[in-house]
Amino acid sequence: TIRENILFGHPYDRVKYNNVLAACALSKDLTLFPAGDRTEIGQKGVNLSGGQKARISLARACYSDADIFILDSPLSAVDAIVQNEIFTKCFLGLLRHKTVLLVTHSPEIIASKFIDRIVEVKDGKLMDKAVLGRESTDDMPSSIDPLAARRGYPVIGDDDNQVLTTDMPVYKSNDYNTMLSPSTPHHGESFDVFTPVGPHLTFDEDAEVSGQLVLDEGRTEGKVSAAVYKAYVEAAGGWGTLVGVVGVSILRQGLSIGSDLWLSVWTSTVPIETPLEFQQHTPYYLGIYAALAVLAVIATAIATLATYGACVTASKTLFNQMTDALLRAPMRFFDMNPVGRILNRYTTDIGAMDVNIPFQVGSMASVSFRTLCTVATAMYMTSYLGLLVLPLVYVYVWMGRYFVKPVRELERINKITKSPLLNLMAESIEGVLVIRAFGDNQRRRFQRMHYRNVDATNESMFAKEVVTTWFTLRIQFTSAFVVMVVSVALVMMRDSLSPGLVGLALNYIFSSLSMLEYLIPNFAQFETVMVGPERVVEYANIAPEAPRVISGAVAHDWPTNGDIAFTNMSFRYKENDPLVLKDVNTLRSSIAIIPQTPVLFKGPLRNYLDPFGEFGEADLWGCLQKVRLADRIDGVEGKLDSPFATSTVLTIAHRLDTVLDADRILVFDQGRLAQCDTPAALIGAGAGIFFELCHEGGYLDKVVSSQSVE
């Protein structure tokens, strides 16, 4: 949650926490979240804007109460109002007795008289380390009045209530409440920002809040559904493949039993044949026995290859289906499911499908047919004594059904506990610099969190082993009891049974028991390993987003001009969420988006610039030259709009100097389009959000000098 990120393991102090929120200009933002500071921010802060991430990171540093703060441009992602608010309340207020090393490219801050030392770094070298006097600010742009709108207001926390004086009047807009500004009279030191929430939601300290973004990982209960088995069989090649695998397994077992039967037929001729006849018939019997053995070996190889081939095919197919589904999943899915949970599917579950299931299927098929044939043979050879096997089979099956319930659920729990483990590892690797920056206490805290996750995983594994041992012990006790009963019965019936029949009965009873001891746990383990396909199929059935290409939605030659029009369009992240853009009056291949945080992929630069191979060498080098990357060419003139002279550029920015030269400016407030006009018209109105932003940032003089404003 936001609060957990700010506290970062430190004990909660309400007064200190409130002061940090106010100093870092987070109060208004928290009122916009459904659960205030209890709102989950998601993996890598996906629920936050760039400015909110920067301010929460700043608040985390402030709450740590360190002596030295090294801040890497935390104000670059916020607008002028919030920038000045943080500079006044945080740097000049909350941190007034601290050493602050601020990295910034803001000329307003660099020109401020509150800066003690300015150090310029160029190409990794310090250009000037001297303490600069105020005369050094004469070289700063004179059109920008640094911190102009903040003069005339007290620095929060100053004991002497020092006032920054200015003759510039204060401009206010009735339709824009700068809630975080100290110029707003009802937001002073006494403003309580403890867990603020929207007007539609209230909760207390112990209440369960509705700010959850990352969903709890679901766990299916009960038997693995028939739909999962069906999906797995279809992924393996269909029902024909299943019939083929079963048929080959039956053939293999039949040949194995056939060789045993032929050997018994061969040995039965010893009493009725003379030695000469037996010697003459030996090549015949031996040849057939050898042929059956060779065929059994071939059938075993074919059955093994068929079983493993079908299982590997199923694993590949489900892997591809899950990957395709994730690539087409709505972006909100990744906001609500951390990367550790997804990695768990690709590691633990796919690993089980690649290794455990083929072995389990092959072993189960072999043992099943061997057990069936052994039990049937025992019943045939021992006549009515073989009927003793039937209640034994029932007892074993009952114990197996009793055993599979807990071991199946423990397997599911074990897989779920691995997701937080992987997720924390991914987050720790991503934020290792932050963890180290906050000292050994934070390092040890994250180690303890990791140990807890490891313990949770080991607990489920240990419980599973305990249950398995419990079952093995009881099934062996049962087998021993049956052997004792049969042995006593055979001894009591010694007068009516021949020694050979007694030996045969004992042999098959022992064989049947060993087979059943192995078969029942095998069936239970098979349902356990099928939890892997169950979880993969769950992700393979994710509802996809809209099709990448909607046929006939736009003309083939679209766009023919540079106009961009939105008509009554509203946006929300997911169903039932509040609208984030409201009534704004299509992403296609002809529109390119440059996100706030660029994403670079491993591979040659050519593949990154032209992944589909649609452009020539000259085009690629031309693009590199336009962005000054071709051999770091320094002679290319022009600003950002120079390479886009023939294109329509839609810029989303907090920095006013990046949009002052735009043809038209759209100002959004709480998701609604508040203003839309040229910069000159917006400034000429003398009021409004854009006018306030320019005034707060000291840009009015610059805009007036560059625009014809009456």
Give the per-residue SS3 of 107-158.
HHHHCCCCCCCCCEEECCEEEECCCCCHHHHHHCCCCCCCCHHHCCCECCCC
What's the confidence (pLDDT) of residue 459? 93
Where is average pLDDT lowest: 149-158, 372-381, 461-470? 149-158
CB 59 within 8 A of CB 20: yes
The gap between the terminal CA atoms of the chain, to the nearest Å, is: 49
**178 compared with 684, residue with greater pLDDT:** 684
What's the confidence (pLDDT) of residue 609? 66
Bridge partners for 101 per DSSP? 70
**14 compared with 220, residue with greater pLDDT:** 14
What's the confidence (pLDDT) of residue 15? 92
Average pLDDT of span 690-700: 76
CATH hierarchy code of domain 2-150: 3.40.50.300
What's the confidence (pLDDT) of residue 376? 73
Q: Is a pLDDT exceeding 80 seen at residue 393?
A: no
Average pLDDT of span 601-628: 67
Using alpha carbons, select from 336, 333, 329 the residue that is nearest to residue 213: 336
Q: Does domain 328-540 have CATH number 3.40.50.970?
A: no
Average pLDDT of span 255-265: 78
How is 20-75 classified by DSSP, letter by letter?
Answer: HHHHTT-HHHHHHSTTGGG----GGGTTS-HHHHHHHHHHHHHHTT-SEEEEESTT
**For residue range 618-646, what is the model confidence (pLDDT) as tens digits?**
777 777 777 666 654 334 343 323 344 45
CA-CA distance, 47 to 5, in Å (whole number)?
Answer: 13
Name the 3-class secondary structure at 389: helix
**402 compared with 316, residue with greater pLDDT:** 316
- What proportion of the chain, given as a percentage, has pLDDT over 70? 70
CA-CA distance, 408 to 393, in Å (whole number)?
Answer: 22
Most confident of 38-47, 153-162, 237-246: 237-246
Q: Say which residues have a Cβ less than 8 Å from residue 704's Cβ, sequence separation at least 6.
A: 683
Mean per-residue pLDDT of the chain = 74
Average pLDDT of span 687-709: 71
Average pLDDT of span 106-112: 81
What's the confidence (pLDDT) of residue 208? 38
CB 335 within 8 A of CB 551: no
Q: Is a pLDDT exceeding 90 seen at residue 313?
A: yes
Average pLDDT of span 443-448: 92
Q: At 409, is the pLDDT very low, low, confident or very high (cuts 50, 70, 90)?
A: confident
What's the confidence (pLDDT) of residue 371? 75
Bridge partners for 677 per DSSP? 665
**For residue range 324-344, what is the model confidence (pLDDT) as tens digits?**
999 988 887 887 787 878 888
- What proportion of the chain, given as a percentage, has pLDDT over 90? 13
Residue 321's CB is within 10 A of a number of other CB atoms, namely: 17
How is 600-658 classified by DSSP, letter by letter?
Answer: --SS-HHHHH-TT--S-HHHHHHHHHHTT-STT-S-----TTSTTTTS------S-GGG
**544 compared with 140, residue with greater pLDDT:** 544
CA-CA distance, 253 to 638, in Å (whole number)?
Answer: 80
Using only C-alpha atoms, the chain has a radius of gyration, in whole angstroms, of 38
CA-CA distance, 54 to 191, in Å (whole number)?
Answer: 22
Name the 3-class secondary structure at 327: helix
**For residue range 212-236, what is the model confidence (pLDDT) as tens digits?**
655 555 555 667 788 888 999 999 9
Q: At 196, is the pLDDT very low, low, confident or very high (cuts 50, 70, 90)?
A: very low
Q: Is a pLDDT exceeding 50 seen at residue 11?
A: yes
Q: Are strands 569-571 and 672-677 parallel, antiparallel or unpaired?
A: unpaired
**For residue range 430-440, what is the model confidence (pLDDT) as tens digits?**
889 889 888 88
For the chain, which residues make up each domain, given as ranges? 2-150, 237-311, 328-540, 569-706
Q: At 173, is the pLDDT very low, low, confident or very high (cuts 50, 70, 90)?
A: very low
**349 compared with 710, residue with greater pLDDT:** 349
As given in the structure block, the two tokens for residue 1 are 């949650």
What's the confidence (pLDDT) of residue 47? 72
Average pLDDT of span 485-491: 77
What's the confidence (pLDDT) of residue 437? 87
Phi, psi (degrees; rounded to nearest 5) at 99: -90, 120
C-alpha torsion 261→262→265→266, nearest 10: -140
**For residue range 43-96, what is the model confidence (pLDDT) as tens digits?**
777 778 888 888 999 999 999 988 999 998 888 878 778 888 899 899 999 999
Using alpha carbons, select from 582, 559, 560 the residue that is nearest to residue 570: 582
What's the confidence (pLDDT) of residue 336? 77
User: Within 13 A of 364's CA, how many CA atoms are on the CB side?
Assistant: 19
What's the confidence (pLDDT) of residue 178? 29
Where is average pLDDT lowest: 28-32, 311-315, 466-470? 28-32
Q: Confirm whether 2-150 and 328-540 share one CATH topology.
A: no
CA-CA distance, 232 to 540, in Å (whole number)?
Answer: 12
Name the 3-class secondary structure at 560: coil
Distances in whole angstroms, Cα of residue 318 to Cα of each of 27, 235, 309, 359, 405: 47, 7, 14, 18, 26
Q: Is the pTM of this model over 0.85?
A: no
Q: With both helix axes pointing from N to C terminus, report the angle between 499-529 and 531-540 in degrees, rounded to the nearest 10.
A: 30
**For residue range 639-675, what is the model confidence (pLDDT) as tens digits?**
323 344 455 677 777 667 767 777 788 888 777 778 8
Q: Is a pLDDT exceeding 80 seen at residue 485?
A: no
CA-CA distance, 235 to 239, in Å (whole number)?
Answer: 10
**594 compared with 492, residue with greater pLDDT:** 492
